[in-house]
Amino acid sequence: MELKCVIIDDEPRASLILVNFANRLNDLIVLDTFDTLKGGFDYLKSINYEVDIVFLDVQLNKESSIEHLLKTGEDKMLNIVFTSAYRASLFQDKNVQYFDWLEKPIPYRKFEELINNFRNK
């Protein structure tokens, strides 16, 4: 089964790492990468949210992806994987739905484990 993902992260290095990790897996396709919430979510709307996983940085520039999701409710339509240099406990109680999170710097082993868990859900 082929999985499609989108990466929304304002750190070019972090996006590149996720793209490289995805390329190591035969069935994970990166549809696109974005460095702003607006660009990423406009794209997701344009494809009717037809994506399997969204890798989403918790903080992009000065914008909070958590606050965006709380306002829009788009987390209910997507399988979000938060990426952050901060511990998950900082956003777990925010009443946002998400599949999982990865702490930066992201080790490939954790990335692969997360994708395997997603396949098995």
pTM over 0.75: yes
Longest pairwise C-alpha distance within the chain: 37
Residue 94, pLDDT above cutoff 70: no
Can you tell me the distance from the alpha carbon of 21 to that of 86, in angstroms, rounded to the nearest whole number? Answer: 21
Can you tell me the distance from the alpha carbon of 25 to that of 35, in angstroms, rounded to the nearest whole number? Answer: 23
Mean pLDDT rounded to a whole number for the chain = 93
Per-residue confidence (pLDDT) for residue 76, from 0 to 100: 94
Where in the sequence is the domain holding 83, given as residue range(s)? 3-120
How is residue 81 written in tokens? 């994987």
The total number of structural domains in the chain stands at 1
User: For residue 34, what is the domain's CATH number?
Assistant: 3.40.50.2300
Per-residue confidence (pLDDT) for residue 86, from 0 to 100: 76
Can you tell me the distance from the alpha carbon of 55 to that of 74, in angstroms, rounded to the nearest whole number? Answer: 14
Q: Quick: pLDDT tens for 24-64.
A: 999 999 999 999 999 999 999 999 999 999 999 999 999 99
